[in-house]
Structure formats: C-alpha cells, structure tokens
Amino acid sequence: MKLSYDQGVSNVPLIGKTIGDLLDEVALEHAASEALVSVFENKRFTYAQFLDAVNGCGRALMALGVNKGDRVGIWSTNCAAWAILQFATAKTGAILVNINPAYRLHELEFTLQQSECNVLILGEGFKDADYMGMIREMIPELAGANTRSDLKSRKFPHLRRIVSLSDKKQPGMIPFAAFEAMGRDISADRLAERQATLDFDDVINLQYTSGTTGFPKGAMLTHQGILNNGFWVGARMRLTHLDRLCIPVPFYHCFGMVLGNLACVTHGATMVLPAPHFSPLATLQAVASERCTALHGVPTMFVAELNHPEFKSFDCSSLRTGIMAGAPCPVEVMKRVIDEMHCREITIACGMTETSPVCNQTEPDDPIEVRVGTIGKVMPHQEQKIISSDDGRILPRGEQGELCYRGYQVMRGYYNNPEATRQTIDEAGWLHSGDLAVMDERGYVRITGRLKDMICRGGEKIFPREVEEFLFTHPKIAEAYVIGVPDRYYGEEVMAWVRLKEAQSMSAEEVRAFCKGKIMDYKIPKHIKFVSEFPTTVTGKIQKYKMREISAKELGVEPVKKTEAA
C-alpha cells in the first residue's frame, strides 16, 4: 500500500543566500540585461541600474533610521518603486509589511497596529480610495508633525515615519524624492556592512493572509523561504535570462512579489509591469509591445484578456509559459490560453501564503487534463502528506484527507499570534493547510475542498466542492458555491449561491429538481440564493465566511462557527 506522502528530490541544492546577496550576483552576471520595465511609468532598468536603485533606496532607509528587524509597510499598487523597495528592505534587514491596496480604514488600522509598523510608505490611492485623506483621518497628529523627527501618534505608538511615493508635499509625510536624497548621507560601505550581518533564516517579509477565513494574520516569511520558492517556481516554468514575464497580479500578494519578481531575479529574467492594477487591455498591450514570453494571472484575468474586444489585434505569439493560480481553471479556458495566447507551457501552481507560497506546480509538458484537474506535484526540497482529520494517520493514495506541508518554505509563524501558530504548525513541523486533497499514484495532488467548509448535516459529512461541481454541469449555471448554514434540527443545512449565465433565468425549485436522483438527498441545497457576483478578495478568492455571514443574517440565524485550520 502506497501512502499519501511525497517529497521533492533534486540534484540542485537550495540557495543558501540572502535576497540582497543573490541580487548582487545576478546583477553582476546580467548587468546589461533588462531587469525591470514599468510600461505605464515609462521606466526601464538594466540589472546594473536596478541594483543601483535598490542600493540607493537601502541607504535612504538607513538614513531614515530603519534598523534590522524594523517593520516597513508598503501600501501601494504595483509600480517600479514597489519592486525596488522589496529588495532594498531585504538588503537592510528590515521586514517588509505588504499592505493590501484595497484596504479601507478599519483594515489598515488593524494591519499597522498588529504588525507594529515602524515606517509606512504609501502611494496616492487605489480606484476610489484616497490614501492621503484616509491617513490624515486615521492619524490626526500628522497635521502638526515635523518630517525631520519621529511621528508621535497615540493610536500607532510604533509608527515613526511616513513616506509618500508622490512628490507632492503632504503634512507630516516625506516626499519620495526627498526620501531618496537622504540616502546620500549613508555610504555604500555602511549598507554593505549591514547586509553582511544578515542571515538567510532571518524573517524578511510579513505577508498578511488574504482574508478568506476572517481577520488576516501576518505570516513571517524568511529570505530562504521566498527566495528559493521564487527560484523553483521559475525553474519549473523553465525561465532563463532571455525570458520576459508580464506581471499583472498585485505585488502585495505572494503571486506578484515571489512568483513574479523573485522568480525573475533568481533567473536573470525581466519583470514587466503593465499597469498599477489589473487591466486586460494594458496587459495585452504590454505582452505585445514588450514581447513577453511569460504571463501570470488568476483564471478570471485570462478570461478577461481573451474576451477583450481588441484581443485579436494584439500579437501574443511571443508567449510561451506563465502561471495560472488562485482558483480552479475550467478546461475550456486552459485550451484557449494554450491555443489563442500561445502559452503552450502554462503551468498551474498552488500553495498558501504561509508556505512562501507554492508547494505544488504542474510541469510544462503535462497534458491539459492534468493541468486543469490537479495542482501538480510537490516542489523540490519540500515534503507533503495527506492525513486523516480524525486521527492524523497518513492515508493511502487515492483517499481524501487534509494536505500538510513541511520544508524550507514553511513560515516561521504568525506575527504576535502564537496561538494561531500552534494551531497551524504541529510539533513535528508540519503545516496543516486546511485543504482537503487526494494524491494519486504518480504524486499529483487534487484539491477537493476546505476542511473548515465541510458541512455536517445530521451527522452526515458533505463536501461543498462535490456539490459545486455537480451544479456547474447545469447548462444555465455559470458559477455555484456551497456553504453550510445553521439549522435547528440538523445542525447545518446546505445552501448554494448561484450565478446564472447571461440572459438565463431559473427558480430554486428548478435547481433542486435538477439535483433529485443525481446526488444524495441530504446533499441537495435546501436554500438557494441567486447572485450576480460573489464576495471575493482582491486576488479573486471566494470568501465563504462572508457568504455564511450574509446568509445567516438573511435567514435570521446565528452564523456557523467554523474551526480555523489555517
């Protein structure tokens, strides 16, 4: 009997370097190659120029008083400065705190306080959010603050300085040009001395979970974790210094900063930024004008690009590879990406913020059915197993259980949250993902649902993914998500949120009639809610906890309390 345990074996060792040291080496080897192209900002950097910009920014951080271990938050959409700051904080030993550009006051306040943020660097805004106005409202002390000394805020006692990526003067904030000029007071030798004190096991990034399960938690990620993850993801994509990766996914998320920026830098490839936030038109323009060979995105991004009215006017023939992640990919979408966008080697990647993030990825040569039906095999130098949620034993291959990870990629823990850390990482170092999965004979893994989403109806266990996949077979249904809602008799009942295809209509009774005789009666949704959209995170992940809250309120019952597994 073969057990659901696998490990990634490779003759290539892990990179035992800090991010700054690796950048120095790559910039020396590929000095004249383009490192970063920001299309919308009309900015280009060779690797030599990029290294100069990073070092200059690192010296500016030191001049600002940033010490090793200080938390430097960045609240901005994608831009060249974001990428430069990512590497500059790594060179100084500061911990980069990634802040979601879509955050509003309450969420921003929570993140700044929970991370004990020391320096905040912010852009002008995101869509209709005015960052400057929000900060002034949240920190009234800014109005009278002197930018030559530390900020004194009652609500944020750790916050010392605020830097604006704009050059417009704002009360209490240092304009970016003035911040950069501060670096002249710090010698290159001092930055090099600081860099030499760093260790690749140091925590370098505080990555907040995307909030699919409630309040975000700050995952502490190390140089070794995200640097090697970027390298191995790029290796499985077959990236080289000749590749140009279009990155329309957000930097604040691991998808952008690790699978994008670090995958490029570890292979000497070019980072191409099409727009500050996702735009299908800007992405297509960047792919065509920059002759990109790789493209990242969640399935909905690829759909938006393929369905854009001007799609056929862009030459995407330079594309070869990329990553589709964040949600299951329908087979028809994968076929179109391969055929119409020429991404014949597009891969599927999966993992979680807490694992730096990728643990599984398909191979470029895997058949379409493998790329849409699985998340691929374990990554090199990582271990994974699938266990019984009842007694923790490793299950035989082919049986469904909880997917667990161990290896260099596992976070150090949640910042200032030891209890959540203990609930997630066991004594043997295994991180319990909360994902339900099945491993086949070849080691390919298929995600079947979330442990905490499992519905217990009168003692019967119901896995929402199974019901969702069945509902999706109805010709009128575009999307369906299933949740558990409280029920006085059964404890929980099944509820489906359904989005119909355009120009279609359907009744709840019609949905239930479709299910009758095809799935077991206890799995048939008792409650059905027709919607035009679902609550999601910025990166497109469905937020079932919000669906449960909304449904409970509408039904007049208490929300189902689900145990957090990750």
Please indicate, yes or no, if residue 423 is contained in any of the structural domains: no
Between CA 209 and CA 565 the distance in angstroms is 13
Residue where a domain terminates, one of 183, 199, 215: 199
CB contact burial 36-55 (16+ within 10 A = b; e otherwise): bbbbbeeeebbbebbbebbb
Domain count, the chain: 2
CA distances from 450 to 146, 434, 435, 544 (A): 49, 6, 5, 10
The pLDDT value given to residue 393 = 97
Q: Which residues of the chain have pLDDT under 50?
A: 211-213, 562-566
The pLDDT value given to residue 545 = 87
Please indicate, yes or no, if residue 382 is contained in any of the structural domains: no
- H or E element, residue 284: helix 280-290
Pairing of strands 129-130, 125-126: antiparallel
> What tokens does 383 get?
């271990």
Category of 541 on φ-ψ map: left (φ > 0), alpha (ψ -120 to 50) or beta: beta
The pLDDT value given to residue 389 = 85
The pLDDT value given to residue 559 = 59
CATH of the domain at 23: 3.40.50.980
Between CA 89 and CA 68 the distance in angstroms is 9
The pLDDT value given to residue 165 = 97
DSSP 379: P
Calculated CA dihedral for residues 429, 435, 438, 440, nearest 10 degrees:
-60
pLDDT tens track for 182-224: 999 999 999 999 999 999 999 999 999 854 445 679 999 999 9
Query: In three state form, how does the secondary structure of 439-504 look?
Result: ECCCCCEEEEEEHHHCEEECCEEECHHHHHHHHCCCCCEEEEEEEEEEECCCEEEEEEEEEECCCC
Residue where a domain terminates, one of 167, 199, 231: 199
The pLDDT value given to residue 527 = 97
Contact 227, 22 (CB under 8 A): yes
Between CA 35 and CA 47 the distance in angstroms is 5
Please indicate, yes or no, if residue 88 is contained in any of the structural domains: yes
Residue 203: other Cβ atoms inside 10 A = 18
Please indicate, yes or no, if residue 402 is contained in any of the structural domains: no
Please indicate, yes or no, if residue 26 is contained in any of the structural domains: yes
Q: Minimal CA–CA distance to 119: which of 179, 29, 166? A: 179
Please indicate, yes or no, if residue 481 is contained in any of the structural domains: yes
Please indicate, yes or no, if residue 48 is contained in any of the structural domains: yes
Residue where a domain terminates, one of 178, 199, 220: 199
Contact 106, 123 (CB under 8 A): no
Show the domain range for 92.
17-199
Please indicate, yes or no, if residue 227 is contained in any of the structural domains: no
CATH of the domain at 490: 3.30.300.30
**Average per-residue pLDDT in the chain?**
93
The pLDDT value given to residue 562 = 47
